[in-house]
Amino acid sequence: MMTEPMIAGLWTDTVSFFGVHAVAVVLLKIAVVLFALLGLVSYTVLAERRISAFIQDRLGPNRVGWFGLLQPVADSFKFLLKENVMPAHVNRIYYVLAPCIALAPALLTFIVIPFGNTLAGEPMVIANLNVGVLWMFSIASLGVYGIVLGGWASNSKYPFLGGIRSSAQMISYEISMGLSLIPVFMHVGSLNLTEIVNAQSHRWLFLHPNLFLAFLIFMISSFAETNRLPFDLPESEQELVGGYHTEYGSMKFALFFLAEYANMITASALMVTLFFGGWQVPFALPESLSHPVTWLAPFVFQPVGFVYILSFFLKMLLFLGVFIWIRWTLPRFRYDQLMNLGWKVFLPMALANVFVMGIWMALSV
């Protein structure tokens, strides 16, 4: 990584000289990340369908394209071409607004995630915020409003129950979710996700016993945050007929669906970033990868940048796999069980964890 700062300096100088470039670069990053994210969302849906099928001894969608690989394309066309039915009894404005409110935070939260080190001197994160994690939490919890609003606007009993459950669920996991991360910040001393990743260059955080507990609490809360089984109470199709999105169809339903999967991806990315070294690679890479190359004339970059992005991506896929696998393994928790778990188990556990971490740090100084 010896020449990296040099290139970075050079490139940044150039960029700030032409202020337009900076905007163009950011727009380019946004476009790439957005499309990658949406593409990943649709393929996560396919993966979920295939994996669930295999787990249940079935085959899953295998018709469109090779082994069903074009199924997401077919699905998206189907969703776009479907008739857009709006039930007569809904509250129209909120009914249309709810899916957008559900999807937007899911996509917004990804902007603070560093998905690579640097490429051509450009940090691989859209917004390197100092309050990265706080931003993440504040925006991510807005997603719940989409669900609550959807349940309210549908003006029908099951979606309404789904909405109520969603808000009750939120207050029971979000406190412990936030508290579970405090040991991480105590350890790293920063809320900036890029710095958290940099702090893990020698040892990934989950190897630390306190932080492993923090990881467990955070992961379980993420399942609740993303409305995934075993905590998909707002949806619970068996008892609430789909819950908050019962009255939704065509593309509006698809937006809720996309939001769920985008949330899953963001949660996986966050877990990778916070506890599993982000884009770091656990072994030494060959030196030759760090030599700058100039395939595309004005852009000088090091191939190692791509390796980091790939490393991040693979770790994220692993967590997506965990999300999917858990869904098809565990039955749904009951409403009160989740609240008990959140308030009586995870909250004290997270608080104790903060305390122990403090003692640990005081002793190790």
Partner 1 sequence: MTIKIERPVLKWHENLYFPAIWGGIKVTSRHFWKTVGNWISGKKYGMITSTGRVTMEYPEEKWAVPNEYRGAPTLVKDPDGRIKCVACQLCEFVCPPRAITITPEPIPGQLPNATVEKWPKEFEIDMLRCIYCGLCEEVCPEEAIFLLKDYSFVGESREELVHNKERLLELGGMRQDKIYKWKNK
Distance in angstroms (rounded) separating the CA atoms of residues 47 and 66: 14
Q: Which is nearer to partner 1, 55 or 104 (CB)?
A: 55
Q: Which of 2, 19, 20, 57 binds partner 1 (CB under 8 A)?
A: 57
Q: Which is nearer to partner 1, 51 or 131 (CB)?
A: 51
Locate 38 and state its tokens: 């949406």
Q: Which is nearer to partner 1, 299 or 325 (CB)?
A: 325
Residue 293 DSSP class: B
Report the nearest approach of partner 1 to the CB of residue 236 (Å). Answer: 18
* Residues 23-52 as x/- pattern, contact with partner 1 by CB under 8 A: ----------------------------x-
Q: Which is nearer to partner 1, 94 or 325 (CB)?
A: 325
Distance in angstroms (rounded) separating the CA atoms of residues 69 and 46: 8
Interface with partner 1 in residues 235-254 (CB under 8 A): none
Contact range with partner 1 by CB under 8 A, out of 1-9, 38-46, 57-65, 355-363:
57-65
- Read off φ and ψ for residue 95, nearest 5 degrees: -60, -40
* Residue 252 CB partners (closer than 8 Å, separation 6+): 84, 95, 96, 99
The answer for 125, left when phi > 0, alpha when psi is -120 to 50, beta otherwise, is beta
Contact between 344 and partner 1 per CB under 8 A:
no
Q: Which is nearer to partner 1, 56 or 138 (CB)?
A: 56
Contact between 137 and partner 1 per CB under 8 A:
no
- Helix 304-327 to helix 19-55 angle (10° resolution) is 40
Contact between 306 and partner 1 per CB under 8 A:
no
Contact range with partner 1 by CB under 8 A, out of 10-18, 24-32, 276-284, 323-331:
323-331
Residue 41 carries which side chain, given as an amino acid letter? Answer: V
Report the nearest approach of partner 1 to the CB of residue 239 (Å). Answer: 21
Report the nearest approach of partner 1 to the CB of residue 173 (Å). Answer: 15
Distance in angstroms (rounded) separating the CA atoms of residues 272 and 347: 23
Distance in angstroms (rounded) separating the CA atoms of residues 115 and 313: 8
Interface with partner 1 in residues 58-117 (CB under 8 A): 58-59
Distance in angstroms (rounded) separating the CA atoms of residues 22 and 174: 36
Q: Specify which residues 123 forms β-bridges with.
A: 118
Per-residue CA distances from 159 to 117, 141, 152, 241 (Å)? 43, 19, 7, 8
Q: How many residues bind partner 1 (CB under 8 A)?
A: 13
Distance in angstroms (rounded) separating the CA atoms of residues 150 and 156: 10
Contact between 328 and partner 1 per CB under 8 A:
yes
Q: Which is nearer to partner 1, 57 or 287 (CB)?
A: 57
Q: Which of 185, 212, 313, 325 binds partner 1 (CB under 8 A)?
A: 325
Contact between 17 and partner 1 per CB under 8 A:
no
Report the nearest approach of partner 1 to the CB of residue 55 (Å). Answer: 5
CA terminus-to-terminus distance, the chain: 30
Q: What is the three-class DSSP state of 344?
A: helix
Residues in touch with partner 1 (CB under 8 A) = 51, 53-59, 325-326, 328-330
